[in-house]
């Protein structure tokens, strides 16, 4: 009696139901019974295409068992379940030839004869036809996806995106609020590591029930979806049919952090170790950012460091702990001042300006695309293209410089005039979040020289330069 292997495969099973492969297996079992063969094992590659070139683990296991003589018959629903790559078929022909006396049967195509020259020629012809159909199908799918993207429509199923209902057309209010919070915190300078860790500590879960990682949080925040825009191959192509959670302006800033050297917030960097590093303290003699250094007696200090990589004068230092407490207290007090309220009002107006600037940039970039198309079609000359391009590019550059100076205000808004709320939570906040909040309100602190002979901590040495 033949020991048969049943191989089943389906290219797409977004819901993970296995209904397609289970039907294939049932049909193959009936065929095995009709042939009088014993089913030794089943080999299932679910949600894997045979034409994609990706490794099919169960197909590899099937080939290993054929080679080892564990099975001497192979059953499949159709030949295209086994192969859609001519190269892969040739390897399978060599495998069957080396193994000897291995029969192949399919439910829909009958016997597959790989022992005779005519049989192999017919199998190759059928394989070439399957490959051709796979190529045509891929082209149709790509064209359809491009059409859907241009219309701002959904392209298919998959895991429910965080912030949206299963139909992807409506918001889940609680999750949308989490996205807004995370976006604002990252835009304020907090690292993904810090935000993801905080969400996990609070018990916020992804739509699959797992915790947040740097990768999953970064993908979500970089996705154009959360700004109500359709993305195709990494490019924003159209307004979407679903609602936005954050503004297009904030989305573009988050997306730009991915590749911008000056924006490490989306990187998996080492967590910040000290509160006021990164330029928050500056030497009053030379203007160089001060760094944290341990002292021989164990007390940590911020110093103006000389030498390569620092470039400071080496003539300024202050004990770390009291200055950190001083700056944190100054920021908390600033939240309740009329000066901050006025600065926030100006910042909100700037946010409205940012929306207009993003629209202007998008319109100008579309103009550049049209100019490029006109050059390609020879409707205008290269000289005309250069003359038209320069003022447009200058407008884009100016708008982007202005956008880089506009800071988000959302993490501060909720505490403005209510510093006690932040004060109560301050000690429990991650260091990176404390630093991000300080940076939103404070540009830097100038540290001036100490008065000779005075050994106590002198509050008058520190001069804040406020951002808000």
Q: How far apart are CA 362 and CA 349, in angstroms?
A: 20
Residue 68, judged by CB atoms within 10 A of its CB (0-12, 13-18, 19+), counts as exposed
Same domain, 186 and 245: yes
Give percent above pLDDT 90 in the chain. 31
* Most confident segment among 55-59, 161-165, 180-184: 161-165
Condensed to tens digits (0 to 9), the pLDDT of residues 2-60 reads 999 999 988 755 544 566 788 999 999 999 999 999 999 999 988 776 556 678 899 99
Task: With respect to residue 167, please indicate whether it lies within any of the assigned structural domains.
Answer: no
- Average pLDDT value for residue range 162-175: 89
pLDDT interval class at 145 (50, 70, 90) = low
What is the reported pLDDT for 202? Answer: 83
Same domain, 360 and 314: no
What is the reported pLDDT for 351? Answer: 66
Q: Please name every residue paired with 289 in a beta bridge, in sequence order, or none if there are none.
A: 282
The CATH number of whichever domain residue 211 belongs to comes to 3.90.1750.20
Q: Running DSSP on this structure, what letter comes out for residue 460?
A: G
Q: How far apart are CA 214 and CA 6, in angstroms?
A: 41
Task: With respect to residue 292, please indicate whether it lies within any of the assigned structural domains.
Answer: yes
Same domain, 16 and 136: yes
Residue 401, judged by CB atoms within 10 A of its CB (0-12, 13-18, 19+), counts as exposed
Condensed to tens digits (0 to 9), the pLDDT of residues 307-341 reads 887 889 999 999 999 999 999 999 999 999 998 88
Residue 209, judged by CB atoms within 10 A of its CB (0-12, 13-18, 19+), counts as exposed
Same domain, 226 and 328: no
Same domain, 188 and 222: yes
pLDDT of 233 above 80: no
Same domain, 130 and 119: yes
Task: With respect to residue 271, please indicate whether it lies within any of the assigned structural domains.
Answer: no
Same domain, 122 and 7: yes
Answer with the one of 412, 437, 457 that is the final residue of a domain. Answer: 412
Helix, strand, coil percent values for the chain (each to nearest 5): 50, 15, 35
What is the reported pLDDT for 263? Answer: 39
What is the reported pLDDT for 261? Answer: 33
Q: How many CA atoms lie within 13 A of 412 on its CB side?
A: 31
Pairing of strands 38-46, 300-303: unpaired
pLDDT of 125 above 80: no
Per DSSP, the three-state class of 235 is: strand
Cβ count near 103 (within 10 Å): 18
Angle between helices 117-150 and 86-99 (to 10 degrees): 150
Q: Please name every residue paired with 444 in a beta bridge, in sequence order, or none if there are none.
A: 465
Contact 317/461 with Cβ under 8 angstroms? no
Task: With respect to residue 366, please indicate whether it lies within any of the assigned structural domains.
Answer: yes
Q: How far apart are CA 406 and CA 321, in angstroms?
A: 31
Task: With respect to residue 165, please indicate whether it lies within any of the assigned structural domains.
Answer: no
Q: How far apart are CA 404 and CA 96, in angstroms?
A: 63
Same domain, 421 and 382: no
Task: With respect to residue 168, please indicate whether it lies within any of the assigned structural domains.
Answer: no
Mean of the per-residue pLDDT values for the chain?
Answer: 83
The CATH number of whichever domain residue 81 belongs to comes to 3.40.50.1390
What is the reported pLDDT for 83? Answer: 81
Condensed to tens digits (0 to 9), the pLDDT of residues 246-261 reads 888 888 888 887 543 3
Q: What number of residues does the chain have? A: 468
To which residue do tokens 């860790």 refer?
197
Q: What does each C-alpha distance from 342 to 348, 355, 410, 417 come to in angstroms?
A: 10, 21, 15, 12
Among the residues of 335-415, which ranges form H helices? Answer: 338-376, 382-404, 410-413
Same domain, 356 and 373: yes
Q: Running DSSP on this structure, what letter comes out for residue 121?
A: H
Q: How far apart are CA 90 and CA 95, in angstroms?
A: 9
Contact 165/139 with Cβ under 8 angstroms? no
What is the reported pLDDT for 135? Answer: 64
pLDDT of 86 above 50: yes
Q: Running DSSP on this structure, what letter comes out for residue 116?
A: S
Per DSSP, the three-state class of 123 is: helix
Answer with the one of 412, 439, 455 that is the final residue of a domain. Answer: 412
What is the reported pLDDT for 194? Answer: 81
Phi, psi of 250 (to 5 degrees): -65, -40
What's the domain count of the chain?
A: 4
Task: With respect to residue 162, please indicate whether it lies within any of the assigned structural domains.
Answer: no
Same domain, 424 and 307: yes
The residues near 115 (Cβ < 8 Å, ≥ 6 apart) are 96, 97
Same domain, 70 and 215: no
Pairing of strands 462-466, 291-294: unpaired
Among the residues of 36-76, which ranges form H helices? Answer: 57-68
Residue range of the domain that includes 112:
3-146
Same domain, 131 and 21: yes
Answer with the one of 412, 443, 458 that is the final residue of a domain. Answer: 412
Condensed to tens digits (0 to 9), the pLDDT of residues 368-418 reads 888 888 888 889 888 888 899 899 988 888 887 777 666 555 567 778 888
Give percent above pLDDT 70 in the chain. 84
Q: How far apart are CA 113 and CA 139, in angstroms?
A: 31
What is the reported pLDDT for 95? Answer: 92
Task: With respect to residue 293, please indicate whether it lies within any of the assigned structural domains.
Answer: yes
Q: Please name every residue paired with 43 in a beta bridge, in sequence order, or none if there are none.
A: 7
């Amino acid at each position: 009696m033949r020991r048969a292997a049943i191989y089943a495969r389906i290219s797409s099973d977004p819901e993970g139901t296995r209904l397609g492969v289970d039907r294939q297996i049932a049909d193959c079992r009936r065929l095995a019974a009709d042939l009088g063969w014993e089913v030794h094992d089943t080999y299932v590659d679910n949600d894997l295409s045979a034409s994609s070139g990706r490794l099919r683990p169960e197909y590899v296991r099937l080939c290993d068992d054929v080679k080892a003589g564990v099975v001497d018959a192979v059953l499949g629903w159709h030949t295209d379940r086994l192969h859609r790559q001519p190269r892969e078929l040739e390897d399978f022909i060599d495998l069957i030839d080396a193994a000897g006396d291995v029969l192949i049967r399919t439910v829909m195509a009958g016997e597959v004869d790989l022992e005779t020259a005519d049989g192999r020629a017919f199998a190759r012809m059928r394989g070439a036809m399957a490959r051709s159909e796979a190529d045509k199908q891929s082209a149709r799918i790509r064209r359809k996806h491009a059409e859907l993207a241009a219309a701002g429509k959904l392209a298919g199923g998959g895991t429910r995106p965080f912030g949206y209902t299963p139909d992807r057309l409506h918001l889940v209010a609680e999750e949308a609020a989490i996205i807004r919070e995370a976006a604002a915190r990252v835009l304020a300078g907090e690292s993904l590591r810090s935000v993801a860790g905080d969400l996990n500590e609070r018990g916020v879960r992804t739509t699959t029930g797992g915790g947040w990682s740097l990768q999953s949080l970064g993908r979500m925040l970089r996705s154009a979806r959360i700004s109500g825009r359709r993305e195709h191959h990494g490019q924003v192509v159209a307004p979407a049919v679903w609602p936005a959670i954050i503004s297009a302006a904030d989305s573009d800033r988050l997306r730009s952090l991915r590749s911008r050297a000056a924006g490490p917030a989306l990187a998996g960097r080492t967590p910040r170790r000290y509160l006021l590093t990164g330029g928050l303290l500056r030497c009053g003699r030379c203007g160089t950012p001060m760094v944290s250094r341990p002292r021989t007696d164990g007390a940590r200090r911020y110093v103006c460091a000389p030498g390569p990589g620092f470039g400071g004068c080496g003539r300024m230092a202050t004990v770390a702990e009291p200055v950190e407490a001083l700056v944190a207290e100054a920021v908390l007090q600033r939240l309740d001042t009329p000066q901050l309220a006025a600065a926030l009002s100006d910042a909100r107006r700037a946010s409205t300006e940012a929306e207009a600037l993003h629209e202007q940039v998008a319109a100008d970039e579309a103009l550049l695309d049209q100019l490029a198309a006109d050059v390609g079609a020879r409707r205008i000359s290269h000289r005309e293209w250069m003359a038209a391009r320069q003022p447009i590019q200058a407008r884009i550059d100016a708008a982007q410089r202005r956008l880089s100076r506009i800071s988000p205000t959302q993490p501060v808004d909720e505490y403005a005039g209510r510093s006690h709320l932040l004060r109560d939570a301050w000690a429990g906040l991650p260091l990176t979040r404390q630093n991000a909040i300080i940076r939103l309100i404070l540009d830097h602190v100038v540290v001036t020289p100490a008065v000779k002979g005075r050994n106590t901590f002198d509050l008058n040495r520190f001069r804040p330069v406020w951002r808000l």
